Amino acid sequence: MSTPPSLQALINALKVLPGVGPKSAQRMAFHLVQRDPAGAVQLAQAIIDAQGRLQHCRLCNTFAETDVCEICQDEQRNHSQLCVVEMPTDLWAIEATRAFEGRYFVLMGRLSPLDGVGVNDIALRPLISRALDGEIEEVILATNFTTEGEATAYYLSELLRARGLKVSRIARGLPVGGELEHADPATLAQAVIERRDKP
- Residue range at the interface with a copy of itself (CB under 8 A); choices 28-36, 123-131, 158-166, 187-195: 28-36
42 is a contact residue toward a copy of itself (CB under 8 A): yes
Give the count of residues interacting with a copy of itself (CB under 8 A): 58
48 is a contact residue toward a copy of itself (CB under 8 A): yes
- Quick one: which of 21, 50, 189, 194 contacts a copy of itself (CB under 8 A)? 50
Residue 60: which of Zn ion, a copy of itself, none does it interact with, CB under 5 to 8 A by kind?
A: Zn ion
Strand runs labelled E in the chain:
55-56, 63-64, 81-85, 103-106, 138-141, 166-169
Our CB check for a copy of itself shows the closer of 46 and 192 to be 46
Which positions ≥6 away from 163 have C-beta within 8 Å? 128, 131, 132
In degrees, rounded to 5, the angle at the alpha carbon of residue 94 between the alpha carbons of residues 190 and 115 is: 70
- Residue range at the interface with a copy of itself (CB under 8 A); choices 30-38, 131-139, 159-167, 173-181: 30-38
DSSP for 30-78, please give it: HIIIII-HHHHHHHHHHHHHHHHH-EE-TTT--EESSSS-HHHH-TTS-
CB of 54 to a copy of itself, least distance (A): 5
Whole-number Å distance between alpha carbons of 149 and 171: 14
Residue 168: which of Zn ion, a copy of itself, none does it interact with, CB under 5 to 8 A by kind?
A: none
- Report the SS3 class of residue 83: strand
CA distances from 59 to 25, 41, 104, 111, 180 (A): 37, 34, 9, 21, 41
Residues in touch with Zn ion (CB under 5 A):
57, 59-60, 69, 72
Our CB check for Zn ion shows the closer of 70 and 115 to be 70
By CB under 8 A, name the binding residues for a copy of itself.
1-7, 9-10, 12-14, 16-20, 24, 26-34, 36-37, 39-54, 63-65, 69-71, 87-89, 91-92, 95, 108
